[in-house]
Amino acid sequence: MFLIFGNPVSHSKSPLMHNYFFKKSGINECYGRYKLENGEEIIKKFKELKIKGANVTVPHKEWAFKLCDETRGIAKEIGAVNTLIEENGKIIGYNTDAPGFLEAIKEFDYKKVLIIGAGGTAKALSLVLPHADILNRSESRLVYFKEKNKTCYTWENIKNFEYDLIINTTSAGLSDENYPAPAEILENLFLNAKYAVDVIYGKETPFLKLAKKYNLKTKTGLDMLVYQGVLAMELFLEKELDKKEAAGIYFEILR
């Protein structure tokens, strides 16, 4: 038995994805969801429910990081865990979000990257895209990135528009028609870029619609969702999967 912890969690596509994968792969397992009100109880609940593994979504990723017995891989640097597994009585924490993003953009040929936003997703992606620059509305939220010696800009002082890949990590466009930065900045960026990726999935955001007008190749956050799911499944099953084949199964049910 596997599940996802979150609050809210009813919207999560993880049960749909993973149960379909189990069915198609002939694996006798199931995957559910658990609305967890108090993040401090995440490991206690994991043990009480006697599950083998879990995914963790907002707002509990930091609690999972703090409370699991051990963290491995990039989770240590990010300070957030999105996958938990039980191993010899210990609860081990991983983060498959950022590596999943890298898998999602594997076919892109890029060198210069600009990340728009300064939240948790931006931090995670900046660790797996070490040469990426950061653009954010306010200066105050750029402290973390400056401490990591990142080149940072605000809307007022951006002067470099030469990037191959532009990534939106903000919530702009999720439930509105807003851009993650002023249109004139995006237009200047899109004149030179080849690719635009939005971490939002389930809709084509205004950011991606504008990118398409400039003939950029675009991706929604669906690919990131799928590939982080594939990497989590490898941890659940304790074996390496054919990532392209596994992703194909997830895409079947999600598209």
Q: In what order do the strands lie in the sheet with 113-116?
A: 152-154, 133-136, 113-116, 165-168, 195-198, 217-219
215: nearest Cα among 179, 190, 184, 250: 190
Tokens representing residue 92 in the block: 């081990």
Which pLDDT value is given to residue 47?
Answer: 96
Model pLDDT, residue 212 = 98
Would you state the pLDDT for residue 34? 97
3-state secondary structure of 18: helix
How do beta strands 113-116 and 133-136 pair? parallel
Q: What's 38's DSSP letter?
A: -
pTM for this entry: 0.85
- Whole-number Å distance between alpha carbons of 24 and 18: 10
- Among the listed residues 135, 132, 178, 179, the one whose alpha carbon sits nearest the alpha carbon of residue 155: 135
Radius of gyration of the chain (CA): 19
| pLDDT by residue, tens only, the chain of 255 residues | 999 999 989 888 999 999 999 999 999 999 999 999 999 999 999 999 999 999 998 889 989 999 999 999 999 988 889 999 999 999 999 999 899 999 999 999 999 999 999 987 898 899 999 999 999 999 999 999 999 999 999 999 999 999 999 999 998 998 899 999 999 999 999 999 999 999 988 889 999 999 999 999 999 999 999 999 999 999 999 999 999 999 999 999 998
DSSP notation for 61-130: HHHHHHHSSEE-TTHHHHT--SEEEEETTEEEEE--HHHHHHHHTTT---S-EEEE--SHHHHHHHHHST
pLDDT of residue 119: 84
User: Catalytic amino acids?
Assistant: 61
- Per-residue confidence (pLDDT) for residue 8, from 0 to 100: 86
